[in-house]
Amino acid sequence: MRWVDVKEGLKEFLEEFKREKTGIAGVILLIVLVIVALTAPYTTMPDLPEKWRSSAYWEDNPKNVPPTWYNMFTSQKLVPQLVYYANDLKITHPSDTVTIIEADYTFPEGYILGPQGIIIRGLNVTLNAPSQIPTMDIYLLRPDGKKVPLLKNKQISSGTVISIGRDSAISTNIYIWLVNVTEGREITMFEVPLETILISDMMPPLFAKVEPGMNVSKIIEEPQPLWGDYKLVLKINNPAPKYNQVIYDNIKVSFLGRTYGTMGTDYLGRDLWAGIIWGSRVSLTIGVLVSVFSTLIGLVYGVTSAYLGGNADEFMMRINEIFSSIPSLPILILIGATWGHVTLWFIVVLLVIFGWMGIARISRSMALQIKEQTYIEAAKALGAGNGRIIFKHILPQLLPYAFAVIALSVPGAVIAEASLSFLGIGDPSAVTWGQILNAAQSQAATTKGYWWWVLPPGLAIAVVGLTFVLIGTALDKILNPRLRRL
């Protein structure tokens, strides 16, 4: 084949491909997917796979909450996540020993329940006089003018994390305040019913209408939201500013949302959107690598078998049959489960080992026809070797077909990889869609209705599959004229 012929052929092919609308749609989807996969470190965060496994990193995120845009489809709106750093907070120093930090929070109209919790962390304390430890008071100023004392005289150190909503001591204080407002009496912390504190969510009452005469348990069960501007105030007393220093540069106040980001969060508070974006890398890489390798191996194997013929052909076809008779998924699961550390490359190799047989059989039967053509005979007469005839004269005839097969076998490979990692067999240092679904299954996300956790990964798998199916069928239509009537 001369270069001009290749160019002509390619041009003709492209002309025909342009007329296939589905093929063009597939190519556009593929370009989008590749861009998404390549830009994942910039659009989300550069080191997500390492952080994905550390539950500590995701502590400041709400757990199991739907995406923020879900509010558009529901009348009961849920507040989004809101995070303040030192620059966003109002930090004042009324005297040498007192520092006041204020965080404004607007509870917009139409929303219910308020934030899932409030987490305060990042105070740096250098302690030189241990007898005079700095302390902190926290209270919440509500739009109805009431003041809720959340914490009093809490001793702080560098590692202190205040977690309103998860800390039962703070929940107890909220309960005491509720009784104080509604019934007008002071109770001690021993009178607070422990089971209420542990079982109920004490955040909604904090952001609900509380008036004298109301029933406390009613407020906890059916809180009426009180919309308006709230102010969280942290008052830090440092009795010995000369010796003990409190540094506020790294302070972080998170109002945990009841919705989060583009795709919500899972049971550890992980940002599912980032996981989905990163998962595309693994899926695309494995899908393409597996289908390219298994197609090429199958092609060469089938053509060689057909060309050699006789006993060699019989022998090679028996090996092919043996491989296809081994039930692949059970064996893959067995190998993966007992191997120890599984890397992505190992999965590619496994899927290729169990993926080349079908293509080998088809390309053998195609090569059997080509083999009988006179030009092969001519090449033989001219003294061409087996390798030359196979690679130079037979394989190029099958290459167009190979491209269609490669595209059409990507979905299978993507699903196989996802299935394996769904069963917990996969590279633990990568984020994959199968693993996200595995976590969803083990946390019973389907029976709890966490659709934002189950839907996107599978949809992403389907989109990758569809992309290659669209390209593959378009190629198939061009190369297989019988289907072209449409």
Residues that bind other proteins (CB under 8 A): 318, 321-322, 324-327, 329-331, 333-335, 337-338, 411, 414-415, 418-419, 422-423, 437, 440-441, 446-449, 451, 454-455, 457-458, 461-466, 468-470, 473, 482-483, 485-486
Q: How far is the CB of 322 from other proteins (least distance, A)?
A: 5
Instruction: Considering the complex, state which of residue 94 and residue 340 has its C-beta at the smaller distance from other proteins.
Output: 340
SS3 at position 262: coil
Q: Which residue number, 237 or 419, has a Cβ lying nearer to other proteins?
A: 419
Residue in the structure block whose two tokens are 């390549």? 38
Cβ-based nearer residue to other proteins, 237 or 443:
443
The nearer residue to other proteins, 325 or 374, going by C-beta atoms, is 325
Looking at the Cβ atoms of 223 and 456, the one nearer to other proteins is 456
CB of 279 to other proteins, least distance (A): 13
Query: Cα-flanking dihedrals φ and ψ of residue 296, to 5°?
Result: -65, -45
Taking the complex as a whole, how short is the minimal distance between the CB of residue 469 and other proteins, in angstroms?
5
Min separation Cβ 40 and other proteins, Å: 21
Query: Positive or negative, the Cα torsion across 431, 437, 442, 443?
Result: positive
The whole-angstrom separation of Cα 111 and Cα 257 is 12
Q: Which is nearer to other proteins, 242 or 485 (CB)?
A: 485
To other proteins, the closest distance from the beta carbon of 138 in angstroms equals: 39
**Do the strands 162-164 and 90-92 form a parallel or antiparallel pair, or are they unpaired?**
unpaired
**Contact call for residues 119 and 59 (beta carbons, < 8 A):** yes
Smallest gap from Cβ 427 to other proteins, in A, equals 19
Nearer Cβ to other proteins (136/413): 413
Give yes or no for a contact between 482 and 34, defined as CB atoms under 8 angstroms apart.
no
Cβ-in-10-Å burial (0-12, 13-18, 19+) of 166 comes to middle
Separation CA 119–CA 168 (nearest Å):
14
**End-to-end CA separation in angstroms for the chain:** 31
**In angstroms, how far is CA 53 from the centroid of its own chain?**
12
Shortest gap between Cβ of 435 and other proteins (angstroms)? 13
Nearer to other proteins by Cβ, of 2 and 482: the residue is 482
Least distance (Å) between residue 449 CB and other proteins: 5
Q: According to DSSP H, which parts of 95-244 are helical? A: 168-183, 194-199, 203-206, 216-221
Q: Which two tokens stand for residue 240?
A: 């010995």
Q: Quick one: DSSP state of residue 482?
A: G
What letter represents residue 74's amino acid? Answer: T
In the complex with other proteins, the residue whose CB is nearer, 22 or 163, is 22
Distance, CA of 168 to CA of 369 (rounded, Å)? 78
Q: What is the nearest approach in angstroms of other proteins to the Cβ of residue 457? A: 8
- Please, which residue, 173 or 409, has the CB nearer to other proteins? 409
Tokens coding 358 = 């079908």
Query: Nearest 5 degrees, angle CA 341-CA 342-CA 348?
Result: 160
Residue 23, Cβ neighbours under 10 Å: how many? 22
In the complex, least distance from residue 405 CB atom to other proteins, rounded to whole angstroms = 15
Taking each helix axis from N to C end, the angle separating 272-308 and 344-353, rounded to the nearest 10 degrees, works out to 40
